[in-house]
Structure 1
Amino acid sequence: MVFEDLTAYRLLIADVYELAGASRRTSEGLAREVGQSAARWHVLSVVSDGPRTVAGAARRLGLARQSVQRVVDDLVAGGQAELQPNPDHARAPLVALTEAGVRSLAELVRRSDADRAALLARAGVDRADLDRAREVLRRVLAAVQEPPVG
């Protein structure tokens, strides 16, 4: 590996962080327009494919269980999520979306899709570009996650 490769890697990671930060800021703005936050949006999304525990949602989001619990409490208080009995663990209820939560998530996705489509058009980026970039990132991620040899 040559020095230029390592420099390119550091620059790629810096760009990924910058893109993630910019994406979070635009997501916050989109969420605010419909009375949500990005954190609430993330939790709505993670339980949209079926009920899960707070701990399960936290693992999927890569966040602390306590921070997800606070967001779930807000969503339940706002009528967008509900707690259901968990047949596998009496003290860890399942978090599920209510109809209001489903509607809110659908509106967030609709607004986000329109915003992201405009962004990709401005950038001149198409599906093939995104697939190539993602493939490289997934290879690097897989290498980061595997234990070093030796």
Structure 2
Amino acid sequence: MTEEADLYRLLIADVYELAGESRRTSEALAGEVGQTAARWHVLSVLSDGPRTVAGAARRLGLARQSVQRVVTDLVRADLARLRTNPDHARAPLVELTAEGRSTLRALVRRSDADRSAVLREADLTRDDLDGARAVLRRLTATLRDHARER
């Protein structure tokens, strides 16, 4: 085993830990405005326009059934609505309502304030974040290419 391979494994462990911590804090932030992180994620994916439940699930990398449960909750709460899909009669389009857009804006405002405070406390600069993203994107692309070559 090489030192680089060991460092790679530690980096991946750190990424998982960061993702877990981010999910936990996102859940707490969502709760402050009466929502869940799952609802927040679906609201976000619907923010760029209507899509089917299957399309939202693909975008989120989740099972269609789990997204369907969240969509059902959002429709009941009047944060989203279903409309006829001209391309597929049995797969309606899901879109945000005005209340859903307002709720998403509140979630984003709360999150931006919290994350800005965290970044200040961590003393991270834009260059730090850009560099970290560049490394992660390069690793992701290389892993994807490597998997295709097999």
If the length of structure 1 is used for normalisation, what is the TM-score?
0.96
Alpha-carbon separation, structure 2, partners of 1:87 and 1:148: 35
**Residues 1-150 of structure 1: matches in 2 within 5 Å?**
3-146=2-145, 147=147, 149=149
User: Is there any run of 5+ residues in structure 1 with no aligned partner, and where?
Assistant: none
**In 2, Cα distance between the equivalents of 1:148 and 1:6?**
21
With over 3 angstroms needed to count, the CA separation of the structure-2 counterparts of 1:120 and 1:76, relative to structure 1, is same
How far, CA to CA, are the matches of 1:148 and 1:90 in structure 2? Answer: 35
Segments of structure 2 that go 5 or more residues without pairing to the other structure are none
3-state SS of paired residue (1:79): coil
Q: Quote the RMSD (CA, aligned, Å).
A: 1.1
- CA displacement 1:47-85 (0-9 Å, x = unmatched): 000000000000000000000000000000000000011
**Counterpart residue type for residue 109 of structure 1:** V
Of residues 124-133 and 108-117 in structure 1, the stretch that sits farther from structure 2 once superposed is: 124-133
> Percent identity at matched positions?
68
Give the number of aligned pairs. 149
TM-score (norm 2): 0.96
